[in-house]
Amino acid sequence: MVSLEKITWDNWEACINLRVKDEQKPFIASNVYSLAQSYVALLNDRQPPLTYAICLGRTVIGFAMAYRETARESRFGESSYVICRFMIDKDYQGRGYGKMAFAILLDKIKACPLGSADAIYVAYNRSNEAARALYAGFGFKETGVVSCGEMIARLPLDCKSTRVRSIRRAYRTYTREHQHNGPV
């Protein structure tokens, strides 16, 4: 069964050891880079990043990372969740695990754990046909905006139907799932 788990002392090295195919390397930063980036975000940003190990049973097969930005921070002028990393190890690709994991990631974001937002954004290299097809399958529409060679696609997000109480509950669940010692 595919699940998204918080990064722990038990799985962080497995995340770092995941690899994409050689031809996919230009499409995504290494997981060691992403984990370093999430550490800096954790110490400096107002909200923690959402980082997950993608697991098949007890085996780590992928990695996902997202964050929330305010309308002021967003180049599109709307509060949003941005999925900045999503990968499945080369030995596990093409078996439907990416689709399953992405559906779980979207469910987590749709619970608005870091507060409400109007949209979810994802960016991908224009020659990354697998990513384009994966995201389009979930309803992401290309914005036409290209940043650093990457097409930005958008999915509307309706957090308004999520009552504030449930957003708070979702955030509590999220922080419990992602308990850490906090910035020192």
Q: Does residue 162 belong to the site contacting ligand COA (CB under 6 A)?
A: no
CB contact at 8 A, 91 and 78 = no
CB contact at 8 A, 31 and 52 = no
Mark the segment that binds ligand COA (CB under 6 A) among 9-17, 24-32, 113-121, 151-159: 24-32
Interface mask (CB under 6 A) for ligand COA, residues 81-120, using x and -?
Answer: -----xxx----xxxxxxx---------------------
Give the interface size with ligand COA as a residue count (CB under 6 A).
Answer: 22
Q: Collapse the DSSP code of 25 into the 3-class scheme (helix H, G, I; strand E, B; otherwise coil) and give the result.
A: helix
What contacts 129, CB < 8 A, 6 or more positions away? Answer: none
Among 4, 20, 109, 159, binds ligand COA (CB under 6 A): 20
Give the chain's radius of gyration (CA, Å): 16
Q: How far is the CB of 166 from ligand COA (least distance, A)?
A: 29
Comparison of 14 and 130: residue with beta carbon closer to ligand COA: 130
Mark the segment that binds ligand COA (CB under 6 A) among 51-59, 63-71, 131-139, 169-177: 131-139
Phi, psi (degrees; rounded to nearest 5) at 27: -85, -15
Q: How far is the CB of 180 from ligand COA (least distance, A)?
A: 26
Structure tokens at 69: 């930005």
| Element holding 171 (H helix, E strand) | helix 164-177
Q: What gap in Å lies between CA 130 and CA 72, rounded to an integer?
A: 31
Q: Is 149 left (phi over 0), alpha (psi -120 to 50) or beta?
A: left
Q: Does residue 129 belong to the site contacting ligand COA (CB under 6 A)?
A: yes
Comparison of 95 and 168: residue with beta carbon closer to ligand COA: 95
Site residues, ligand COA (CB under 6 A): 20, 24, 27-28, 86-88, 93-99, 124, 128-131, 133-134, 137
